[in-house]
């Protein structure tokens, strides 16, 4: 079975959906799985240094501070119910996620799921800037990846632009929200 997962690494619902989906997979008798992670950049206009998170979210959603807090509280509770932590108090920056998706692309197949989870943890539990190359390299190292050439690979502008193109292609396929899973059963 091939499973294509479209997601963004700053999407709390993607983290929740990943947890639920992988819990369901663990109960499945399906043994041969080909899981493919695809970028879906929620907002590629955000610079790598990011924007102040709460102001950005208020403006993007058109919400008051109180409405935004209610949204965060609800999402946090849904995360807890799924068994994942979402600490919106630690999230200080709305960030560009292209680098984190590039890391997932570079991760060896056997480490991809671990890298995805490490990225989610770095953002939602530790409040780290996923647009910072040093943060991304640290995530890779802690996940067991060889980082000897990683900074150069992450700085490759052609590969970086390919992530943006892949995200745009997902939209061209009609995907307009994430998480989005496509299962191909042969």
pLDDT digits (tens, 9 = 90+) for 115-151: 999 999 999 999 999 999 999 999 999 999 999 999 9
Number of domains, the chain? 1
Instruction: Say if CB 76 and CB 29 are below 8 A apart.
Output: no
Of the candidates 75, 7, 69, 68, which has an alpha carbon nearest to the alpha carbon of residue 42?
7
Of the candidates 45, 151, 43, 48, which has an alpha carbon nearest to the alpha carbon of residue 103?
151
5's enclosing H/E stretch is: strand 2-7
Find the domain containing 118 and state its range. 2-184
Q: Please, which residues have CB within 8 angstroms of residue 58's CB and are 6 or more apart in sequence?
A: 64, 65, 68
pLDDT at 29: 80
Q: CA 88 → CA 21, 50, 91, 130, 159, distances in Å?
A: 23, 16, 5, 15, 31
The answer on pLDDT for 30 being more than 90 is no
- Does the pTM surpass 0.75? The reply is yes
Q: Give the CATH number for residue 169.
A: 3.40.30.10
Q: Please, which residues have CB within 8 angstroms of residue 163's CB and are 6 or more apart in sequence?
A: 39, 41, 98, 101, 102, 105
pLDDT digits (tens, 9 = 90+) for 87-125: 999 999 999 999 999 999 999 999 999 999 999 999 999
pLDDT digits (tens, 9 = 90+) for 50-78: 999 999 999 999 999 999 999 999 999 99
């Amino acid at each position: 079975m091939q499973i294509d997962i479209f997601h963004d690494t700053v999407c709390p619902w993607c983290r929740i959906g990943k947890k639920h989906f992988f819990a369901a997979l663990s109960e499945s008798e399906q043994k041969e799985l080909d899981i493919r992670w695809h970028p879906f950049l929620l907002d590629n206009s955000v610079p790598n240094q990011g924007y102040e998170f709460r102001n950005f979210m208020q403006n993007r959603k058109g919400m008051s501070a109180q409405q935004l807090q209610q949204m965060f509280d609800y999402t946090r509770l849904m995360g807890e119910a799924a068994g994942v932590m979402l600490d919106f108090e630690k999230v200080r920056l709305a960030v560009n996620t292209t680098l984190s998706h590039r890391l997932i692309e570079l991760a060896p197949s056997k480490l991809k799921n671990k890298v995805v989870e490490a990225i989610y943890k770095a953002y939602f539990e530790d409040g780290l800037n996923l647009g910072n190359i040093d943060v991304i390299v640290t995530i890779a190292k802690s996940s067991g990846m060889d980082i000897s050439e990683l900074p150069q690979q992450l700085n490759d502008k052609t590969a970086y632009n390919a992530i943006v193109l892949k995200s745009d292609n997902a939209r061209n396929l009609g995907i307009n929200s994430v998480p989005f899973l496509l299962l191909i059963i042969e």
